[in-house]
A and B are shown apart, each in its own frame.
Chain A
Amino acid sequence: MNHDELDATLDSFGDALASATRVTPGNALRPEDIAVDGVAPSDEVAAYALTLGDDSLILAQRLSHWISRGPELEEDIALGNIALDVLGHARSFLTYAGLAMGKTEDDLAYWREEEEFTSLWMVEQPNGHFGVTIVRQLILSIYQHLLYSKLAESADETLAAIAAKAVKEVDYHRDHSIMWTIRLGLGTEESAEKMRHALEILWPYVDEMFLDEEIHRTLPEVAVLPSSLREDWDKEISAVLADAGLEIPATGQAMAHGRRGEHSEHLGYILAEMQVLARKHPGATW
């Protein structure tokens, strides 16, 4: 993954500060620790971790497309930071899932086919204009914040540890998308219209996020039941939209089943771009 490269690019903006202030790397759980010290999960737990990892991986791939294309330099960096956080979550979940399969995070990211990906349709929806990305972030960051808050209590210690770290980062993503939703919703007539449009094109993929699948039911102590998040999510997003002068659109719901490997037309193109380098030059490093 181009995690390090991206990080170095973003870090260069802060170089002037390095001498003036104390810099510490911190000691949060890293994917490298999971790869070395992690205990292999059961096949069921691995399959569950894979669903969470796939959501984060595809979302990170989508978000990182904003780098160098943000509406302002500051926002470019904000979206880049968020993409990196989400990529970090993907790496942890995929590394953990891979322990059960004898595979690395890269094996899982680069060498699976479209129908083997278990991500939600929401994460693969195109970035569109800035408002579409913000609405997608609003929908997903509120969802992931609720999900990781509960997952931090999971009977599976590794999943709980990944979630405990991720929830703080997602909390900030949520704050970022709420701030923008309010500003764009209450901004100009054009920005409000663009936000209404964004809500209309993304809302059909909301129900799928809360579908309980077999994998959730077989792991009652470990997995978070998606349907259990719906009430809080509805409440929270309704409040934000009300503050922004926006409404939940009256749209139908797509017959989306990403968890079963069925995807919208977008995922194939995302994977083609994401996987081409690893497949053209197997084992390449930089």
Chain B
Amino acid sequence: MSQSNWPLWEVFVRSSRGLSHVHAGSLHAPDAEMAVRNARDLYTRRNEGVSLWVVKSSDIISSDPDEKDAFFESPQGKDYRHATYYKASEGVKHL
């Protein structure tokens, strides 16, 4: 195989109507149109989907793994952000 110069694309497959698109994997393709076709060939061979999205991997802005603590540990111990933290007030019915 040749050294690929094709950009990387992320593939999202919707398995049926009413569900959301789920990230399925990635692939190389020369442009967006071909990326959708390659996605069809790679990720929907066994009736897995009714809709496909492809997004250029470089267009996805992700959170920084090094900032994991600052980003995602803050909610820990803040139980009051959950509805279950609160006790039902006396006399409240149908809750």
Chain A residues engaging chain B, CB cutoff 8 angstroms: 10-11, 13-14, 16-18, 20-26, 70-78, 81, 172, 175-176, 179, 183
Contact = CB atoms under 8 A, between A and B. Distances in A.
**Which 6 residue pairs are nearest across A and B when measured between Cβ atoms?**
A21-B15, A74-B38, A21-B48, A24-B47, A22-B15, A78-B41
Interface in B35-52: 37-38, 40-43, 45-49
Contact of B4 (A72, A78, A81): A72
B24 A74 contact: no
Interface string B20-39: 00101101111101100110
**Taking chain A's interface residues, is the majority helix, strand, or loop, or is none over half, making it mixed?**
helix
B29 A74 contact: yes
Contact of B13 (A21, A25, A81): A21
A73 B33 contact: no
A78 B30 CA distance: 14
Interface residues of B, number: 28
B57 interface: no
A22 B16 contact: yes
A172 to B, nearest CB: 8
B89 interface: no
Contact of A17 (B1, B24, B29, B40): B24
A17 B48 contact: yes
**Which of A72, A74, A77, A78 has the most chain B CB atoms closer than 10 A to its own CB?**
A74
16 contacts: A11-B45, A14-B45, A14-B46, A17-B24, A21-B13, A22-B15, A25-B47, A72-B28, A74-B27, A74-B29, A74-B41, A75-B38, A76-B1, A176-B37, A179-B33, A183-B34
Interface in B1-21: 1-2, 4, 6, 13, 15-16
B32 to A, nearest CB: 11
Interface string B49-85: 1000000000000000000000000000000000000
Nearest to B46: A23
A74 B43 CA distance: 11
A73 B43 CA distance: 14
A20 B1 contact: no
A71 B1 CA distance: 6
Contacts of A78: 37-38, 41
B25 A71 contact: no
A179 B37 contact: yes
Nearest to B39: A74
Contacts of A21: 13, 15, 22, 24, 48-49
A74 B33 CA distance: 14
A120 B43 CA distance: 33
A42 B38 CA distance: 42
A71 B4 CA distance: 9
A55 B73 CA distance: 63
Contacts of B42: 13-14, 74, 77
Contacts of B13: 17, 20-21
A70 B33 CA distance: 19
A172 B28 CA distance: 19
A182 B22 CA distance: 31
A146 to B, nearest CB: 22
B1 to A, nearest CB: 7
Nearest to B4: A72
